[in-house]
Amino acid sequence: MRRLKEFLIEKLILLSGITVILFVVLIFVFLLKEGLAFFKEVRLSDFLGGRYWYPISEPPRFGILPLILGSFLVTAGATVFAVATSICAAFYIAEIAPARIRDFLKTGIEVLASIPSVVLGFVGMVTLVPWVKSVFHVPTGLTALSGAIMLGFMAMPTIISISEDALAAVPRHFREGSIALGATRWQTMYRVTIHAAKPGILAASMLGIGRVIGETMAVMMITGNAAVIPRTFLQPVRTLTATIAAEMGEVVHGSAHYHSLFSIGIILFLITFIINVTADFFLHRVRH
Amino acid sequence: MKNIILACLLAVSLVPAAVAQEELSGTIQIKGSDTMVNLGQAWAEAFSKAHPGVTVAVTGGGSGTGFAALIGGTCDIAEVSRTIKEKEVALAGQKGFKPVEFEVALDGLAVVVHPDNPVDALTIDQLADIFTGRVTNWKQVGGKDLPIVILSREVNSGTHIYFKEHVLRKGRKDIFDEFSPMALLMPSSQAIAEEVAGNENAVGYYGVGYVTPAQKAVAVAQDADSEYVTPEVPDIISGRYPISRPLLVYTPSAPTGVVKAFIDFVLSPEGQKIVEEVDFVPIKFR
């Protein structure tokens, strides 16, 4: 009887594991099936390198270069902002903060992680957007910068908690050794601890970036969605994700526009896949 | 075609006294234009009050979504702010549907700017120049020396398509102008309204119902020689205001039962009074 129970549970768990992988494969197959049909009509180079996105015009133009650059600009901005702040915050929590403040901060970070992105987008729209407009004297506050700052906030919880774990995993004797040799706490932190925790921090940053590039709702609300190749941070941009979200509702099923949105999905999937694999690579290095 | 439908409707609407005696029951799914969601909702409430046995569900998503649902068979009525495309008629035909169109209201499209913007009258040509990006500074159209920020709806919006075809391309088939790539595509009319209210550089367009004292609707003229008209209801009905469009509903095939009762109600004086209450323009009751 006990044997049977053991056997059943084991198989159930195995099944759950397989289901997850099966779903990923199915999603990818579906994306490929719907997306690849698009390339019968439009050349890959025109798709990736085209500068104009007019999907419903006659003739339509499916250039996603402005969208890719828009996504990258917003992501890069968010990464710079979020990674710098998050690593400092992780250091404070892991190394300096007294226990009570540490618990308080950790709860705060969890709350930040649980705010729905549409709410963050809305808050950004009414507070950050007018602020960007008046501070930088730009024609409109709906810019890549506004999107980058808001997305930075969204990536921070991920980066902070994983970096903090990485810092906490650095063996005590590393720090003790350093201090025994006469280094100050600050010297220990930026010469010893950060090097020992580097793979973990890199992995955390990569996961944060993965979250940012896939984010949709907040970006759609505050980046202006103009499909133009961005030259500065203070210009409106349109991201890959916002394009799919904004246009999926309209699209005539089976049309070139419909397939083009799936192709954008494939591009996004590839980008996040590469980012996650890189993060995984660094995380494995921590374990060994 | 439209006249024949209306004539038929008029003919049948003389009988419903007899039909209404039987208690109506069932559900009606309405999908489509975001512009018309509030209107559809108001009709639905009034209709369900009169016929407690009928549930009416109204959702938005855009005119294209409405047609997609109509073709897919997931709604009974599609509310839309553009006419059906040939491609959609063909797709519906494959499913065995033959969509029927009803004109249910008019919507004047207001061109809005910040109240502090001194520009208060523009011609269609000037609007086309602004929205295609040929004119980039307000001083080129008689305003201050400020850059123009163009606000538009997303491409899933019937409003976007209508404005492109009738203002940017002036209703002509030989002009292929597009919105400037610099145009900010906003997810809703409300988002455009908010940005215009807070930004002196901005110009946008949406149904007159969304204009509040925080925005200023400019007067529009067909060309430099004709008179400038602000989007007031009498001028939209008479056609003096140049940018107005019909709001339509489609049914997958000739309506019957509850759906027919609902459309009769929409076209009745009572239904048209609701149109006025939610800030659209009633069609002249024929």
Chains A & B: contacts with CB separation below 8 Å: 89
Contact B176 A57 (CB under 8 A): yes
Name the pairing type of β-strands B77-80 and B26-32. Answer: parallel
Judge whether residue A244 has pLDDT over 50: yes
Give the Å distances, CA to CA, from A255 to A27, A258, A261, B73: 20, 5, 10, 18
3-state DSSP assignment of residue B251: strand
Of the listed ranges A127-131, A247-251, B169-173, B243-247, the one predicted with least confidence: A247-251
Contact B185 A238 (CB under 8 A): yes
- The rounded distance, in Å, linking the Cα atoms of A261 and A246 is 10
- The rounded distance, in Å, linking the Cα atoms of B82 and B164 is 12
Q: How many domains does chain B have?
A: 2
Judge whether residue B128 has pLDDT over 90: yes
Contact B186 A225 (CB under 8 A): yes
Contact B88 A52 (CB under 8 A): no
Chain B positions touching chain A (beta carbons under 8 Å): 61-65, 67-68, 72, 85, 87-88, 91, 146-149, 154-157, 161, 176, 178, 181-187, 191, 194-195, 198-199, 201-202
Looking at the structure, do residues B227 and B250 belong to the same domain, yes or no? no
Which pLDDT score, from 0 to 100, does residue A185 have? 87
CB atoms within 10 A of CB B85: 14
Total residues found in chain B within this entry: 286
Which pLDDT score, from 0 to 100, does residue B113 have? 95
The verdict on pTM exceeding 0.80 is: no
CA angle A230, B189, B43 (to 5 degrees): 155
Judge whether residue A175 has pLDDT over 70: yes
Chain A positions touching chain B (beta carbons under 8 Å): 52-58, 66, 125-126, 130, 133, 139-142, 220-221, 224-228, 236, 238, 246-247, 249-253, 255
B47 token code pair: 């209709």
Q: Which of B187, B186, B204 is nearest to B149 (CA)?
A: B204
CB atoms within 10 A of CB B205: 25
Instruction: Determine the average pLDDT of the residues in B166-187.
Output: 87
What percent of chain A is predicted at pLDDT more than 90?
A: 45
- The rounded distance, in Å, linking the Cα atoms of B81 and B88 is 15
Judge whether residue A155 has pLDDT over 80: yes
Which pLDDT score, from 0 to 100, does residue B2 have? 52
Looking at the structure, do residues B237 and B118 belong to the same domain, yes or no? yes
Which pLDDT score, from 0 to 100, does residue B35 have? 81
Q: Which of B168, B149, B146 is nearest to B159 (CA)?
A: B168
Judge whether residue A275 has pLDDT over 60: yes
Looking at the structure, do residues B225 and B277 belong to the same domain, yes or no? no
Judge whether residue A145 has pLDDT over 90: yes
Contact A130 B198 (CB under 8 A): yes
The answer to whether B185 touches B137, Cβ cutoff 8 Å, is: no
Contact A246 B182 (CB under 8 A): no
Distance from CA of B253 to the nearest CA of A (A): 20
ipTM score here?
A: 0.75
Looking at the structure, do residues B142 and B211 belong to the same domain, yes or no? yes
Which pLDDT score, from 0 to 100, does residue B284 have? 67
Looking at the structure, do residues B51 and B125 belong to the same domain, yes or no? no
Looking at the structure, do residues B118 and B221 belong to the same domain, yes or no? yes
Instruction: Determine the average pLDDT of the residues in A251-277.
Output: 88
B198 token code pair: 């807070």
- The rounded distance, in Å, linking the Cα atoms of B228 and A58 is 32
- B155, B178, B184 member nearest A224 (Cβ): B184
Looking at the structure, do residues B240 and B250 belong to the same domain, yes or no? no
- The rounded distance, in Å, linking the Cα atoms of B111 and B207 is 9
Kindly state the DSSP code that residue B185 receives in the 8-state scheme.
E
pLDDT digits (tens, 9 = 90+) for B30-75: 998 888 888 999 999 999 998 988 999 998 877 888 888 898 888 9
3-state DSSP assignment of residue A23: helix
What percent of chain B is predicted at pLDDT more than 90?
A: 42
Contact B178 A54 (CB under 8 A): yes
Looking at the structure, do residues B164 and B217 belong to the same domain, yes or no? yes
- B148, B184, B201 member nearest A226 (Cβ): B184
B232 token code pair: 């007031």
Which pLDDT score, from 0 to 100, does residue B238 have? 83
A175 token code pair: 């720090």
Q: Looking at beta carbons, which residues of chain B come within 8 Å of A125?
A: 191, 194
Q: Looking at beta carbons, which residues of chain B come within 8 Å of A55?
A: 155
Which pLDDT score, from 0 to 100, does residue B190 have? 84
Looking at the structure, do residues B41 and B115 belong to the same domain, yes or no? no
CATH code: domain of residue B167: 3.40.190.10
Looking at the structure, do residues B174 and B200 belong to the same domain, yes or no? yes
Looking at the structure, do residues B137 and B207 belong to the same domain, yes or no? yes
The answer to whether B114 touches B196, Cβ cutoff 8 Å, is: yes
Confidence of residue B21 (pLDDT cuts 50, 70, 90): very low
Name the average pLDDT for chain A. 89
Q: Helices (H), strands (E): how many in chain B?
A: 11, 11
Give the Å distances, CA to CA, from A224 to A127, A143, A155, A249, B110: 15, 6, 21, 19, 21
Which pLDDT score, from 0 to 100, does residue B17 have? 44
Looking at the structure, do residues B125 and B137 belong to the same domain, yes or no? yes
Distance from CA of B251 to the nearest CA of A (A): 18
Instruction: Determine the average pLDDT of the residues in A108-125.
Output: 89
What percent of chain A is predicted at pLDDT more than 70?
A: 98
Q: Looking at beta carbons, which residues of chain B come within 8 Å of A249?
A: 61-62, 64-65, 156
Distance from CA of A32 to the nearest CA of B (A): 23
Instruction: Determine the average pLDDT of the residues in A10-31.
Output: 93
Cis peptide upstream of residue A59 (ω within 30 degrees of 0): yes
- The rounded distance, in Å, linking the Cα atoms of B107 and B247 is 7
Which pLDDT score, from 0 to 100, does residue A103 have? 92
Query: Half-sphere exposure of residue A178, counting CA atoms within 13 Å on the CB side?
Result: 19
Range of the domain at B253: 2-105+246-285
Judge whether residue A285 has pLDDT over 80: no
pLDDT digits (tens, 9 = 90+) for B143-165: 899 999 999 988 877 888 889 98
